Amino acid sequence: MPCSALNLQTPGVRLYLDTADPKQWSSWFSTGLFYGVTSNPLLLERSQVACRVEQLRELAEYAFQLGAREVQLQTWGGRVSNLVATGKTLAAIDDRVVVKVPVTRTGTEAAAELIAAGIRVTLTGVYAIHQVLIAAALGAEYAAPYLGRMNDLGGNGRANLIAMQKVLTSLNSPLRLLVASIRELEDIVVLSQEGLNTFTFSPAIAAAFFDVPATVQAEVDFEQAAARMSLQASLSIHPLPNLDSSKEEQRQTN
């Protein structure tokens, strides 16, 4: 990714591609839009990627080659000791790897150990406003609330996320809300107006960013005009005025 694009995304907006499909990474990273990629065992399963450290190492290395500044990989194992051991192994892949841990009692204990060891952590599976306090208290870098799934459970996902951000702002916490489970582009637009600046979403949402017919038509009009003008070989081209001569004439007039 070009340095200019990196500068634009630090420390403000961070957008992540939420898929474990390397073909999608390759397709979308050329836009310069994405700060990194996020994944979890469900996304690995959908992309038919084995949930093994060596496989994830290969994926992470490929993402970094494409220009990702961060890769978020989720630990697994059920018990605290397993979550910690796997998390440490994932973190050892590269210091740009952030380890995702579910914000359960077990996951929180594991996250506390990982953070104490200097490992970057995202507490994921956030559904309740008070859960951001857990992430902030532990010193996690991110908390990942599931917007769409909150709505599925009958909640008001947008209102909940805005409330979470207000909590963090009131506490002057550096914790970022990594908004996940985004179903429509409008969610990002609305939440960004409320100070949220970190989002992970599917390739379908990425495509929606560019689905503006008026902009597409404007490009067509520009290209057609350029083609018409370039084909008119007999077109009279008027030379640009000589600025030095114009200044001299003005002095003489004065």
Do the domain assignments include residue 136? yes
pLDDT at 87 over 50: yes
The answer to whether position 183 is within a domain reads: yes
Beta bridge partners of 100: 74, 122
Q: For residues 223 and 246, what is the distance between their CA atoms, to the nearest angstrom?
A: 34
In a domain, 191, yes or no: yes
**244 belongs to a structural domain:** no
More confident: 144 or 3: 144
Q: What is the reported pLDDT for 232?
A: 73
Q: How far apart are CA 85 and CA 80, in angstroms?
A: 9
Q: Which helix (H) or strand (E) holds 238?
A: none
Per residue in 170-219, pLDDT tens? 999 999 999 999 999 999 999 999 999 999 999 999 999 999 999 999 99
pLDDT of 8 > 90? The answer is: no
Q: Give the integer Cα–Cα distance in Å for 72 and 100.
A: 6
pTM of the model: 0.86
Answer whether residue 139 is part of any domain.
Answer: yes
Count structural domains, the chain. 1
pLDDT in tens, 20-69: 999 999 999 999 999 999 999 999 999 999 999 999 999 999 999 999 99
* Domain CATH number, residue 69: 3.20.20.70
Residue 230 located in a structural domain: no
Residue 238 lies in a domain: no
Q: Which residues contact 86 (CB under 8 A, 6 or more apart)?
A: 53, 75, 76, 77
pLDDT at 241: 72
Q: Which residues form the domain of 60?
A: 3-208
CB contact set of 101 (below 8 Å; sequence gap of 6+): 74, 75, 83, 87, 107, 108, 110, 111, 114, 121, 122, 123, 124
Other CB atoms within a 10 A radius of the CB of residue 106 amount to 15
Report the pLDDT value the prediction gives residue 4, as an integer from 0 to 100.
Answer: 38
Q: Which amino acid does the sequence have at 196?
A: L
